């Protein structure tokens, strides 16, 4: 069965927030990367202003994980306080990822189709018919 974790979005202060959470709960980040580490292509170059923003951080708390990213610009034009989260699903197989994604997409809007990523995952995002943002991330 898939695991569900909360994915928090921030408007430039993700690193500050997660350092605060680390001071509250103790422990270390499982992963921390910046947009400047993203491979660029002819079609897309990370804007200089965004290179130091947090692309992804994951932080275990007990048996759960909270994850986060800085958003804004191209990543979240509709970001406002109150909608700064996504539900992140970690399926156990590609078939499960496809089935969950297909079901959540019904009546919703696919923002990122499922695809193989540079971080070695099968990933996609969809906003369901109720406005909830879902992230499917199957690590290779």
Domain range summary for the chain, segments of one domain joined by +: 3-139
- In tens digits, the chain (140 residues) has pLDDT values of 788 888 888 888 899 999 999 998 899 999 999 999 988 888 888 889 889 999 999 999 888 899 999 886 555 555 665 567 888 889 999 999 999 999 999 999 999 999 999 889 999 999 888 777 889 999 88
Q: Contact 6/87 with Cβ under 8 angstroms?
A: yes
The helix (H) or strand (E) run that includes residue 3 is: strand 3-10
Answer for the pair 18, 31: CB distance below 8 angstroms, yes or no: no
Q: How far apart are CA 100 and CA 31, in angstroms?
A: 25
Question: Contact 18/68 with Cβ under 8 angstroms?
Answer: yes
User: pTM of the predicted model, to two decimals?
Assistant: 0.73
Render pLDDT for 73-100 as a digit per residue (tens, 0 to 9): 555 555 665 567 888 889 999 999 999 9
CATH no. of 3-139 = 3.10.180.10
């Amino acid at each position: 069965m898939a695991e569900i974790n909360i994915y928090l979005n921030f408007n430039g202060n993700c690193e500050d927030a997660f350092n605060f959470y680390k001071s509250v709960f103790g422990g270390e980040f499982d992963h921390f990367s910046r947009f400047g580490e993203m491979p660029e292509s002819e079609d897309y170059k990370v804007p200089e202003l965004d290179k130091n923003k947090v692309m992804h951080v994951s932080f275990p708390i007990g048996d759960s994980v909270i994850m986060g990213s800085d958003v804004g610009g191209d990543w979240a034009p509709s970001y406002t306080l109150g909608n700064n989260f996504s539900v992140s699903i970690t399926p156990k197989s590609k078939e499960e990822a496809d089935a969950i994604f297909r079901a959540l997409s019904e009546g919703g809007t696919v923002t990122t189709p499922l695809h193989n990523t540079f971080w070695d995952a099968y990933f996609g995002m969809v906003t369901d018919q109720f406005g909830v943002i879902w992230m499917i991330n199957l690590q290779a």
